[in-house]
Structure 1
């Protein structure tokens, strides 16, 4: 099928950025949001994009994540709202795990007004953000350093297993409709599983573009999580999983 010129341009833009909201697309193409929604629906029916709440995402690959620089720019406002809500739920003088991800990096920035936190992380960006606070204690897992600042490998797993903390603040690359938590790097997943296993409460911070997103490595199920923070109500199948598991949902 041959796409209309605007639809092809819209598709190119979504593929270039990985995600685009309806509002930004409407502004970029000088049309109404309703027109953009119709275009997105047609592209989704052709399997060219994936509909999300408030926008569209590139179908991409289930085996390879979007580049870090691109992920850092996607859903910035939504991630900021999520980060502020997560930070508000963390008391002063708490102990925390924080894993890899641009959303958890936003959470680290939102935690800077707290006092007396002890943070164990495998994310060098998180460590760099929090290390300047005199009353924070920041511990970094050893292991292989990825280009996005994530630290993975058996050494990271062994390091994290030494601790039992109050809260794990975790991100994820995708949530399947059956409630599976999905990511791209099996080594990263092993570290995140260890983080979850050694925390008294697990907070999952996930923007709505991750609902229904495919990734090849299964971390576990939503049943591992105590509380989910997101920017939009999840699809019905995921919402049902949350309700069945009695997981608190915070929409910000």
Structure 2
């Protein structure tokens, strides 16, 4: 199949379904992952699709990421490995901020057995994971998702959670002035930050402007910044900047990151942690 024919097929999939995953396109086209990513890059350069981590979306989705359910199905083994490696960086009894996202959601699941944590989050999904694990009997049936911050404490690990409040995005993040004001009043030991893209020049980015503002506030609130992202996000650039690479104390990614990229990132961030996917499965 010629390159032009492949690109037409990719464009048809994106237009028909609003997006296409690299893994599905590899199977459908019978070519390598590198070939599919190159074709997506060409189509994005022509202004025909928007390149996102794990695939491509229609141009109408350029300004914001797909919803949580769509993203949660991507790179599951990688996210599990990253989550376990990131959890090892969190000390018992410390204060932790966790941003919204499917990778940070996996990290939250890995943190439930770490005792004495105080967690600040703008993610409804993260709050739900910790609430269910720590079994707070006095917390109401529905978590606050509006304009006021909320908190609860309890459970086997003795942790507590502060939910920032704010406006809800498709990725179940709470953002906007209320979230930013709440975050700016806090100081945490460690931030676990999920990102849309990591790039040598652009740094950490997101396609959502208000989510970018909220994430910048999270970075400013933390003594140590730990970025968690799977390897497909390398060289992906979103609309809004969050922070440069030199603001990252630790970057945790999976073993799919190319060796050349590892060398570059290791020279830019404080510490690069490569999580082996086999460690997550056995």
1:82 is aligned to 82
Shift of 1:147: 3.8
TM-score using structure 1 length: 0.81
Name the stretch that deviates more: 40-49 or 91-100: 40-49
1:233 is aligned to 257
Root-mean-square deviation (CA, aligned residues, Å) is 3.1
For residues 251 and 237 of structure 1, do their structure 2 counterparts lie closer, same or farther at Cα, with a shift above 3 Å needed? closer
Name the stretch that deviates more: 100-109 or 6-15: 6-15
Contact 2:166 2:177 in 1 (8 A): yes
2:98 is aligned to 98
Q: Within 2, Cα distance between the matches of 1:67 and 1:80? A: 19
1:58 is aligned to 56
Contact 1:94 1:117 in 2 (8 A): yes
1:1-27 deviation per Cα after TM superposition (whole angstroms, max 9, x unaligned)? 7855x8766776688564334xx766x
> For 1:148, what is the secondary structure of its paired residue?
coil
Q: Within 2, Cα distance between the matches of 1:51 and 1:63? A: 11
Shift of 1:42: 6.5
1:175-207 deviation per Cα after TM superposition (whole angstroms, max 9, x unaligned)? 223152111222111111111111111100011
Shift of 1:145: 2.1
Contact 2:124 2:173 in 1 (8 A): yes
For residues 222 and 60 of structure 1, do their structure 2 counterparts lie closer, same or farther at Cα, with a shift above 3 Å needed? farther
For residues 56 and 115 of structure 1, do their structure 2 counterparts lie closer, same or farther at Cα, with a shift above 3 Å needed? closer
Q: Within 1, Cα distance between the matches of 2:11 and 2:120? A: 40
1:120-159 pair list within 5 angstroms? 120-132=120-132, 133=134, 134=155, 135-159=158-182
Confirm or deny that 1:43 pairs with 2:39. yes
For residues 163 and 45 of structure 1, do their structure 2 counterparts lie closer, same or farther at Cα, with a shift above 3 Å needed? closer
For residues 235 and 190 of structure 1, do their structure 2 counterparts lie closer, same or farther at Cα, with a shift above 3 Å needed? farther
Shift of 1:213: 1.3
Contact 1:164 1:198 in 2 (8 A): yes
Shift of 1:29: 5.5
TM-score using structure 2 length: 0.73
Query: 5+ unaligned residues in a row in structure 2: which ranges?
Result: 135-154, 276-282
1:19 is aligned to 21
